[in-house]
Structure 1
Amino acid sequence: MNQELEIIRDQQQEVWNKFSAGWKKWDTLTMDFLKPVGDEMIRLLNPKGNDMVLDIASGTGEPGLTIASMLTNGKVTLTDLSADMLEIARENGADRGIKNIETIVCDVCELPFEDHTFDVISCRFGFMFFPDMLLAIKEMARVLKPGGRIVTAVWNIPEKNFWVTASMGVIRKNMDIPVPPPEAPGMFRCAEAGMMSDLFKQAGLTNISEKEVAGKMNCGTTDTYWNLMTDVAAPVVAALSKADQATKNKIKAEVYETINQKYADGDVVIDSSAIVIYAEK
């Protein structure tokens, strides 16, 4: 990677380490929210007893830990830029009695593995943030065995992910936030239909498929939604850190109003949409 992309990577590493405590705090809610995507990824991968599995951008451990629990003699290598996130993954694995895992802090664009090491690769909600997505998928393809399976998930378009836009829409209305270029890392960078399939093709992968998977963020209350987003959503926290107190108060009030109007019955269960992409080598 060039120096500019390395700077982005290092900034991301700092951010994910910083937010690890929030992810640990909200792990039950967020993993329940992301479970339908993980379930579809696992269904497509169909992990087998002796598979050697690489889980990239593992965060607090899923879907890698669930895959590990399905193997008899196989192993899952959990990787992430953030050592603090992987520490939570190890704790979660230990709590569930899962022993066939290892954790390695590394950059997806410079994977520290030999060619043809893994039978299966999974990567849930990592691609949107990789500084060089083509280099990342080429590295994944390099370490995947011939005939191996790979699956990833990215967020769909903003219009289908109100859980993000409810906050960021209000923030953008109240603050002058620069719009990043389309190719810059971000939540919806991979939302265009066929974009990920094209990347996979460029890496020499075959039997590529894309599927939309719906999910629900079950916050229950507007308070829970606001507290969650201001603990774990990096773009929200970054924007609010630059606002004065009056602007923060106004944004919070308007987010509450936006959520309460949509969920007038007080039951805040917010729809989401992701794209799951599968391929083989």
Structure 2
Amino acid sequence: METQLEQIRDLQKKTWNQSSPGWRKWDELTMDFLKPVGEEIIQKLKPQGDNYVLDIAAGTGEPGLTIATMLNNGKVVITDLAEGMLEVARENAVKRGIKNVETVVCDVSELPFQDNMFDVISCRMGFMFFPDMLMAAQEMIRVLKPGGRIAASVWNGPDKNLWFTSAMSSVNRNMTLPPPSPGAPGMFRCAEENLIADLFSKAGFKNISQKNIEGKLNCGTADVYWGFASEVVGPVVNSLSMADDALRQKIKSEVYKTINDTYPDGKVAINFSANVIYGEK
């Protein structure tokens, strides 16, 4: 891997390990938030029986853990770049009594698996953070069996994902952050229409389809939203780590005002929009 890509990978690993305590704390809310996307991935993949499944960039374990409960004699290998995230995934597996799973810390661009190993690959909200997305897709098709199925999800644009911009817009107003390099990993890097579908095609996948999924982050209160945003949402977490107490409090006050003005009835349920892309080898 090129030095620049290695640097991006190492930064991603540091970022997600830094965020893993927040993911552990807010796992129930986060998994409820992402559940509609995971359900669509599972619906597309139709895992069953003795399928051997690879869940890439799985974080705290979904949708891999749910897929594992659908298999009779099959198994799910749950991977992530960050060991801290996989620690939470293992804890979740134990809590749910799921035993047909294995966790592997690895880089998607250098998957430590033989060719043609897996029947199914899932990747929920991972592609936008991969240093080289085409290389990642090529690795996925390499380890997928002929006829195997893949489904991945990515966020649509920021205007359709207020759960992110409600906090990040205040961060951007109050902090001078370095602009990302063109093509650098980021939350909405894959929002361009058909970007992942075209990437799948270049990698060699066929029978490609795409579906829009919408849902809500059901926070209930501004307090819960701030806790989630400031402890789980990577770019917000990273930015706040560079702010002093006074600036952090100013940003927090602005975010509370935004949320309370948007949801004056106190019932905070913030929209999200994502795409699920399916393909076959």
TM range (shorter): over 0.9
Total equivalences in the alignment: 281
Give the whole-Å Cα distance in 2 for the aligned partners of 1:94 and 1:247: 40
Offset at residue 225 of structure 1 (A): 0.5
CA contact (8 A) 2:54 2:76 kept: yes
Within 5 A, what are the aligned runs for 1:100-179?
100-179=100-179
The root-mean-square deviation of aligned C-alpha atoms, in Å, is 1.0
Q: Does 1:189 find its partner at 2:155?
A: no
Give the conservation status (yes or no) of the 8 Å contact 1:68–1:75. Answer: yes
Q: Secondary structure at the match of 1:200?
A: helix
Uncovered stretches (5+) of structure 2, i.e. residues with no partner: none
Per-residue deviation, 1:33: 0.3
| Residue deviations 1:127-156 (CA, integer Å, cap 9, x gap) | 100001000000000000010000000111
In structure 2, the residue matched to 1:13 is: 13
Q: Is the 8 A contact 1:182 1:189 kept in 2?
A: no
Distance 2:75 2:237 in 1: 36
Alignment gaps of 5+ in structure 1: none
Partner of 2:43: 43
Deviation of the 1:248 alpha carbon:
2.0
Superposed displacement of residue 200, structure 1? 0.3
- My pick for the range that moved more, 114-123 or 240-249, is 240-249
Quote how far apart the aligned CAs of 1:170 are.
1.2
Q: Distance in 2 between matches of 1:276 and 1:237?
A: 26
Q: Is the 8 A contact 2:15 2:238 kept in 1?
A: no
Percentage of identical aligned residues? 63
Whole-angstrom distance in 1 between the partners of 2:271 and 2:3: 38
SS of residue paired to 1:180: coil
**Aligned residues of 2:109 and 2:139 also touching (Cα < 8 A):** yes
Structure 1 moving runs of 4+ over 6 Å: none
Distance in 1 between the 2:246 and 2:61 partners?
Answer: 38
The TM-score, its normalising length taken from structure 1, stands at 0.98
SS in structure 2 opposite 1:191? Answer: coil
Q: Matches of 1:235 and 1:17 in 2, distance apart?
A: 13
Q: Deviations over 1:2-29 (max 9, x none)?
A: 0111011112112212221110110100
Shift of 1:78: 0.4
